[in-house]
Amino acid sequence: MEFSYVNQTQIHFGKGQIASIKNSIPKDQKVLMLYGGGSIKKNSVYDQVVQALAEHDWLEFSGIEPNPTMETLDKAVALAKQEGVQYILAVGGGSVIDGSKYVAAASLYQGEGWDILQGKYQAKTALPIGAILTLPATGSESNPAAVITKAATQEKLSFYNPIVRPVFAVLDADVMKTLPERQLINGLLDAWVHVCEQYLTYPTGAMVQDGYAETLLKNLLALAAGFENRDTDNWRENLMWTANQALNGLIGAGVPQDWATHMIGHELTALYGVDHARSLTLIQPALLRNQLTAKRAKLEQMGQQVFGLAASDDLAVKTIDAIENFYLSLKADTRFSPEGEDKTSSIERLMKQVEAHGLLAIGENQAITLKEIREILNSVIK
């Protein structure tokens, strides 16, 4: 086990914490507030932010869409450059926070922002970011990752850079009260798969990472089982904190990671607009079955520790069935039929993108090659 670990994002958790941004952002910094399609205007989050920024010089940019596009974000970059913005305040879910990371880095770069996604430019500087989270799911509020879409070419790519990890994040679970049920379930599922990507690999005897990952998975199962309590502070707060911990770097430190489900899932979102979390439930059970031998030991461990299954010869298979049934119980599909397109052309189109994006050997053993991805898509697409 070898790693360097730091997560410098300061978390302000709990009711009324939006007001704390007043002191978290230096008063002499010009702030650009970024947000999405307007949900924050319907639940008083916008008003709370405006009140908290009363002593700051600030401006706003709205309209960052789910699966944020470079095309929209470049307009925010132009505004930030023109206005001499010094601090980015992201108010929203993973899309707005990811988008703010792009804006923060691209605003201090003279070239094309897309270079960051293509790995042509590794940012050494970026504007500081503060985040007010309105949808617990991605962990973006305290991690260094961002996923951005180029609408023109239907490409969805990610970048990782510690320079864009938010300085602070406000996690007030009250903001979740207006979340549509579908988004609440998406958050739960995305957090679940984030833990799986860092846990369902092969055993390394990392007791802290495994034990904490199992706790987070059990939390998510319990929250799903107690879904009727979703309109309580306790339920909301537990989902918000669990989703944050699922992807803040801790459980993945020093252990093998997979992320193949995410990489293939991003292609489904880019081509067919499938919600991020739903793309994962489509791909993951088929991927686990495809990689059964390599993942058997961890699947067995998960079966016993998370689902409470008894030891048996087919425990790994039963664990995958339990995962799939968990998704189906939340009305998340595990098979996909593209509208107006037959199975063969859909697979060909997806494989073309997969190849173009260099997904030639992915997963913890680099054992998921084009052949395996095709097999996986063949099981998923109807």
State the residue number with the nearest CB to Zn ion.
190
Binder to ligand NZQ among 145, 173, 195, 224 (CB under 6 A)?
145
Instruction: Give yes or no for residue 242 binding ligand NZQ (CB under 6 A).
Output: no
| Identity of the residue, 315 or 330, whose beta carbon is nearer to ligand NZQ in the bound complex | 330
Which range of residues in 86-94, 208-216, 288-296, 311-319 is near ligand NZQ by CB under 6 A? Answer: 86-94
Residue 139 as a binder of ligand NZQ (CB under 6 A): the answer is yes
- Burial label, 90 (beta-carbon count in 10 A; 0-12, 13-18, 19+): buried
**Residue 18 or 354 with smaller CB distance to Zn ion:** 354
Residue 323 binding result from ligand NZQ, Zn ion, none, given CB thresholds of 5 to 8 Å by partner type: none
**Which of residues 38 and 254 has its CB atom nearest to ligand NZQ in the complex?**
38
Q: Report d(CA 249, CA 310) in Å as an integer.
A: 31
Number of Cβ within a 10 Å radius of residue 160: 11
Q: Which stretch binds ligand NZQ (CB under 6 A): 91-99, 305-313, 314-322, 341-349?
A: 91-99
Radius of gyration of the chain (CA): 20
**Should residue 67 be labelled a site residue for ligand NZQ when binding is judged by CB under 6 A?**
yes
Check residue 135 and report its DSSP letter: S
Closest CA to 266 of 142, 140, 141, 150: 150
* Of positions 12, 230, 236, 276, contacts ligand NZQ by CB under 6 A: 276
Dump the DSSP string for 83-127. Answer: HT--EEEEEESHHHHHHHHHHHHHTT-SS-THHHHTTS---S---
- Residue of 94, 159, 169 lying closest to 126 (CA atoms): 159
Which residues from 145-204 bind Zn ion, rule CB under 5 A? 190
Contact region with ligand NZQ (CB under 6 A), list: 8-16, 109-117, 177-185, 318-326:
177-185
Rounded distance, CA 352 to CA 346, Å?
A: 10
Alpha-carbon gap, residue 280 to 107, rounded angstroms? 32
- Minimum distance of ligand NZQ from residue 382's CB (angstroms): 23
Binding site for Zn ion (CB under 5 A): 190
Binding site for ligand NZQ (CB under 6 A): 36-40, 43, 66-67, 92-96, 98, 134-135, 137-140, 143, 145-147, 175-176, 178-179, 183, 186, 190, 247, 262, 276
